[in-house]
Structure 1
Amino acid sequence: MNLLDRIKTISKQKGLSLRTVNERAGLGPNAIYKWKNTSPSFDKLEKVAKVLDVTPNYLLGREDHSSNAPVDLLDGVRMYNGKPINDQEKEMIKALLDAYRKGDD
């Protein structure tokens, strides 16, 4: 996967168009599309990485995962107050956290 494809994929996962990423990164019109045939400067790549909440190395394919990628911490939770947490309770907690986050927008 090349740089442009990776940016497209991550943008889509985050619900952003390339145009939006371009604007939020403060780049010129269609700058990201031009990266199909040219290499961006590091500062431009860094701006796009920041908008997408990933590392520049992740965009370049040098890392398999982004150090800024979200981690599902509930996957490791097995108990609360000494009592086991089942899958249904984990889903309820995730739904509560999602609702809480949407309230911050």
Structure 2
Amino acid sequence: MTTFERIQGLAKTQKISIKDLALKLGFGENTIYRWKHQEPKGTDLAKVANYFNVSTDYLLGRTDVKGPLSEEEEFEVFAKNPDMERWYRNMPDNEEEMERLYEIWKLFKKDENS
């Protein structure tokens, strides 16, 4: 399911059109429709996520959990991201290595939030 399709589904459940949603969030009336073929800006995606009270990861299709992710769920999304192969030739294949990766990830998150 694409980002646009997820937003469309959420809009349908709240009985708001895509055009009205875009205008309500301060976008041009066709902005969200363009997301059928192009990636949204992070700030715009965050506005939509906040409106529907879901995570941006949900809108991007990284998880099926609509609400904010727990730390463990957020790490799982991070660890399963195909872009991680840039940093690690092989993902950890045992629990001890995965735990070390988790600790490194927590340090990055701590720095990010500082």
TM-score, normalised with respect to structure 2:
0.56
Q: Which aligned pairs between 1:18-37 and structure 2 lie closer than 5 A?
A: 18-37=18-37
- Are the counterparts in 2 of residues 10 and 52 from structure 1 also a CA contact under 8 Å? yes
1:67 and 1:5 mapped to 2: Cα distance? 17
Equivalent in the alignment of 1:56 = 56
Task: For structure 2, list consecutive stretches of 5 or more residues without a partner in the other structure.
Answer: 69-114
Bigger Cα Rg: 1
Residue identity matched to 1:58: Y
Greater helix percent: which structure?
2
TM-score, normalised with respect to structure 1:
0.60
Percent identity over the alignment?
35
- Are the counterparts in 1 of residues 20 and 29 from structure 2 also a CA contact under 8 Å? no
Structure with more contact order per residue of length (Cα contacts < 8 Å, sep ≥ 6): 1
Give the deviation of 1:19 after TM superposition: 1.3
Equivalent in the alignment of 2:14 = 14
Q: Which aligned pairs between 1:46-85 and structure 2 lie closer than 5 A?
A: 46-67=46-67
Q: CA RMSD in A?
A: 1.2
1:59 and 1:6 mapped to 2: Cα distance? 6
Task: For structure 1, list consecutive stretches of 5 or more residues without a partner in the other structure.
Answer: 69-105
